[in-house]
Amino acid sequence: MSDSRAHARPRGRVLATAAAVLIAAGGALEPVYAAKKKAPEIPYSVKVELFWGAKKNREAYRSELEHAVIQVLLDRACFASVVQNGASDLVLQVQVNDLITEQDYWTNDAMMPGQGEEHELRSALASVNLDFALKPARSETIELTNGHIFREIRREPVSPMDPVEQRALHDLTLDASRWIGREVCGKSGRIVQRAAEALAPASKPAQ
């Protein structure tokens, strides 16, 4: 999936910022999730906690992104299990600092005074700015790994009725969750070493 960065706006374009209605990625997920049947790279259970930072947005956005991150961790099968409710060995905390959508329009420069404005949607852009940290469930100070992610998706309408803003936000949700999974699971060796030290007092991982 390719990203596009915003360029200097041509004369006559109007920038409109709005919150899009999120498209559901699929059916409801079960409360407890089991990883695929293979030896996990990180032999501990994990719980995903995704929350807003200072700039809160709709609960639907938060819930959809959280479910997308869970699904990515399941697909990658790098943890022993992914838990929604109950005890877990590790907690993946994701703070969404900002999530916005923007619409770019072309305007008719040849309009006469008094004519009603008719704008043609050129594209929709969605972006997210977030931080994540993987911690032992019983510790708020120890971080096994952490990182910052900024992702931006631009989509152009393919038809007059195309819900392009919704599509951009939906694609952004999938893209950002994949990056979180890549960053976390890609550091499995270091995570296992640090987790073993942090969880040393415990006799075995939580079931």
Dump pLDDT digits (tens) for 129-187: 999 999 999 888 999 999 999 999 998 887 778 888 888 999 999 999 999 999 999 99
pLDDT-wise least confident of 31-35, 65-69, 130-134, 145-149: 31-35
pLDDT of 120 strictly over 90: no
pLDDT of 204 strictly over 90: no
Going by their DSSP bridges, the two strands 90-106 and 32-34 should be labelled as unpaired
Confidence tier at 18 by pLDDT (50, 70, 90): very low
Looking at per-residue pLDDT, the higher value among 5 and 119 belongs to 119
Confidence tier at 199 by pLDDT (50, 70, 90): confident
User: What is the pLDDT, as a whole number, of residue 109?
Assistant: 54
User: What is the pLDDT, as a whole number, of residue 192?
Assistant: 95
pLDDT of 22 strictly over 70: no
User: What is the pLDDT, as a whole number, of residue 19?
Assistant: 38
DSSP bridge partners of 135: 91
Show the domains of the chain with their CATH numbers: 14-198 (3.30.160.150)
What's the token pair of residue 162?
């195309």
Q: Is the pTM of this model over 0.85?
A: no
